[in-house]
């Protein structure tokens, strides 16, 4: 018990970002007077958060909780805690990151709280929130874009964008105690060190798109704040909040669109100027549960019927990664059904019948986005890395490979990236399920060293033997090292 208590103390000092975010909302009886304790020892377990009065435990799970051994451990833990009279409510990290209001509502239901709370700002470690960590205040200095949107929504945002209404470089030179680290004259941006923090400040600027679909050029530095926000993508990202008083400047109706959960472009040529905005709209719709407003939807459909393929595919790929690394089947459904995939491939594509997002969650991957996008008929326009190309090419080969036995499945899948295996579930989910459920964890214990100890010299026979014993192990997973050595004696007639 003493060791558990020490571990709990360490966990309290090293909470994850998601744990800290939820703790900031429920600590000190903030949640309708309910007293929560964090990283608390109950029996042989440490629970994330517990309200002993209400007998409610809150657990926040990452991807590791989708691994079989952890699923079994969690089930045993839940049974023990439920026997003590506790109710366990579980959230995924993604719930905390992208749907904190939904988490709040769920807690209200579980704790039988009827009063409604407004969206909550995101606190950060040290007690500061996104709008206070800079430590700079000036009537012309504004938080802008996503950081303002996310504070209103009560969701996490790691990027704090600052804009100075005027010349940011000249402003930086007047800040007492600030060290100028870098100046970018053509874009009117400056990086400073202030109170031991590195801070980027941009001048207000207007832009133009002389080549549609590519990077814009700066038209004017030091324009009005209103001109600056009008160059942005959507109304929900076009709000500015002054650092001096906290007042929000909303020239485009962003507050109203947030309230109505709508995504709206700022002008009719928005997608023509930058088609990657279509993917950003998709990403925001999934993250926040928003929908495109009617006219924006019309503009998107119109553009996708007449795409300008002379665009920056590097920028497009960046947006694809950010969107599909969310591992959202809903995003993929919209991507296919709304024909957004036409930005990459002109060939027709149908949505796979099998939802493989759960496989992605269960078997961790560093390349989630390519599992989705790699299914398209042609992605040659994208600047893929060597590893991403390998995943796609392995999937193409796999589509034409005959898999008639468990041995074939195991040997084939073990030698290709796990992403390619998951992609194959879009064609044959039964085979992939058989592999992950019954074959994936099979591992021979006998090694070449064991064969040498038996007096068998290295030769081509080694591989024949390993295939032989693998077939036996697939038939009987309980074979141990001693059994495998006996099989070696049988195979080599020792």
Express each pLDDT in 434-455 by its tens digit: 999 999 999 999 999 999 999 9
Q: What is the mean pLDDT of residues 417-430?
A: 95
- Point out the least confidently predicted range of 63-67, 180-184, 268-272: 63-67
Residue 155: is its pLDDT beyond 90? no
CB atoms within 10 A of CB 422: 23
The pLDDT assigned to 303 comes to: 97
Residue 424: is its pLDDT beyond 50? yes
Q: What is the mean pLDDT of residues 419-448?
A: 94
CB atoms within 10 A of CB 239: 28
Q: How confident is the model at residue 158 (pLDDT cuts 50, 70, 90)?
A: low
Token pair 């100028």: residue: 180
Residue 63: is its pLDDT beyond 70? no
The pLDDT assigned to 198 comes to: 87
How far, in Å, CA of 414 to CA of 417, rounded? 8
Q: Percent of the chain scored above 70 by pLDDT?
A: 92
Structurally, what CATH architecture does the domain formed by 2-110 represent?
A: 3-Layer(aba) Sandwich (3.40)
Residue 294: is its pLDDT beyond 90? yes
The pLDDT assigned to 19 comes to: 87
Residue 87: is its pLDDT beyond 70? yes
171, 182, 233, 447 from 218: Cα distances, Å: 19, 19, 16, 63
Q: How confident is the model at residue 115 (pLDDT cuts 50, 70, 90)?
A: very low
**Sign, Cα dihedral of 414, 415, 420, 425:** negative
The pLDDT assigned to 124 comes to: 37
All structural domains of the chain with their residue ranges: 2-110, 448-491
Q: Percent of the chain scored above 90 by pLDDT?
A: 62
Per the CB < 8 A criterion, the answer to whether 273 and 315 are in contact is: no
Mean pLDDT over each residue of the chain, to the nearest integer: 88
Closest CA to 299 of 343, 340, 269: 269
Per the CB < 8 A criterion, the answer to whether 119 and 25 are in contact is: no
Residue 143: is its pLDDT beyond 50? yes
Q: How confident is the model at residue 470 (pLDDT cuts 50, 70, 90)?
A: very high
The pLDDT assigned to 98 comes to: 66
Q: What is the pLDDT of residues 161-197, one digit of tens each?
A: 899 999 999 999 999 989 999 999 988 999 999 888 8
Q: What is the mean pLDDT of residues 235-241?
A: 95
Specify burial of residue 184 (Cβ count, 10 A radius: 0-12, 13-18, 19+). middle
Q: What is the pLDDT of residues 1-16, one digit of tens each?
A: 567 888 888 888 888 8
Residue 123: is its pLDDT beyond 90? no
Residue 77: is its pLDDT beyond 70? yes
Residue 426: is its pLDDT beyond 90? yes
Residue 120: is its pLDDT beyond 50? no
Q: What is the pLDDT of residues 7-41, one digit of tens each?
A: 888 888 888 888 888 887 788 777 777 889 999 99
Q: What is the pLDDT of residues 322-371, one digit of tens each?
A: 999 989 999 999 999 999 999 999 999 999 999 999 999 888 788 999 99
Q: How confident is the model at residue 428 (pLDDT cuts 50, 70, 90)?
A: very high
Q: What is the mean pLDDT of residues 403-408?
A: 93
Residue 118: is its pLDDT beyond 60? no
Closest CA to 382 of 318, 446, 333: 318
The pLDDT assigned to 373 comes to: 97
The pLDDT assigned to 101 comes to: 66
How far, in Å, CA of 385 to CA of 368, rounded? 14
The pLDDT assigned to 121 comes to: 39
Q: What is the mean pLDDT of residues 474-479?
A: 92
- Point out the least confidently predicted range of 114-118, 200-204, 286-290: 114-118
Enumerate the H helices of 166-293 as residue ranges.
168-173, 225-229, 254-259, 270-273, 276-288
What are the structure tokens assigned to 217, written together?
């050029």
The pLDDT assigned to 132 comes to: 53
């Amino acid at each position: 018990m003493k060791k558990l208590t020490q571990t709990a103390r360490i966990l309290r000092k090293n909470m994850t970002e998601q744990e800290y975010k939820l703790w900031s909302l429920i600590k000190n009886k903030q949640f309708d007077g309910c007293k929560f304790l964090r990283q608390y020892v109950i029996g042989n377990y440490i629970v994330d958060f517990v309200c002993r009065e209400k007998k409610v435990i809150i657990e926040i799970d990452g991807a590791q909780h989708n691994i079989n051994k952890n699923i079994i451990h969690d089930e045993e833990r839940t049974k023990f805690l439920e026997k003590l009279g506790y109710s366990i409510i579980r959230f995924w990290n993604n719930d905390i990151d992208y749907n904190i209001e939904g988490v709040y509502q769920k807690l209200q239901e579980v704790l039988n709280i009827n009063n409604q709370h407004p969206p909550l700002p995101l606190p950060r470690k040290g007690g500061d929130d996104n709008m206070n960590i800079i430590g700079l205040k000036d009537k012309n200095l504004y938080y802008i874009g996503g950081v303002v949107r996310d504070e209103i929504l009560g969701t996490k945002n790691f990027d704090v964008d600052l804009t100075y209404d005027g010349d940011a470089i000249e402003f930086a030179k007047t800040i007492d105690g600030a060290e100028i680290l870098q100046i970018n004259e053509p874009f009117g941006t400056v990086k400073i060190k202030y109170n031991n923090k590195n801070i980027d400040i941009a001048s207000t600027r207007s832009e133009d798109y002389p080549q549609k679909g590519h990077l814009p050029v700066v038209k004017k530095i030091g324009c009005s704040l209103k001109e600056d926000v009008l160059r942005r993508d959507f109304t929900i990202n076009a709000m500015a909040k002054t650092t001096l008083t906290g007042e929000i400047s909303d020239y485009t109706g962003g507050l109203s669109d947030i309230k109505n959960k709508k995504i709206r472009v700022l002008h009719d040529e928005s997608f023509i100027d930058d088609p990657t905005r279509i993917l950003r709209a998709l990403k925001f719709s999934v993250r926040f549960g928003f929908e495109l407003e009617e006219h924006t939807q019309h503009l998107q459909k119109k553009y996708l019927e007449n795409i300008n393929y002379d665009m920056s595919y590097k920028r497009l790929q960046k947006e694809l990664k950010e969107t599909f690394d969310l591992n959202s089947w809903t995003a993929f459904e919209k991507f296919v059904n709304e024909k957004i995939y036409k930005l990459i491939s002109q060939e027709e594509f149908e949505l796979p019948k099998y939802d493989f997002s759960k496989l992605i969650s269960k078997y961790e991957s560093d390349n989630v986005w390519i599992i989705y996008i790699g299914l398209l008929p042609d992605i040659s326009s994208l600047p893929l890395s060597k590893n991403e190309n390998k995943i796609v090419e392995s999937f193409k080969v796999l589509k034409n490979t005959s898999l008639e036995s468990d041995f074939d499945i195991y040997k084939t899948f073990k030698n290709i990236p796990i992403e390619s295996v998951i992609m194959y579930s879009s064609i044959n989910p039964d085979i992939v399920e058989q592999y992950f459920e019954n074959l994936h964890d099979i591992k021979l214990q006998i090694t070449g060293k064991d064969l040498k100890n038996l007096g068998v010299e290295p030769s081509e026979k080694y591989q024949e033997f390993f295939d032989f014993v693998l077939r036996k192990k697939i038939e009987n997973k309980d074979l141990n090292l001693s059994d495998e050595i006996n099989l070696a004696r049988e195979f080599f007639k020792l």
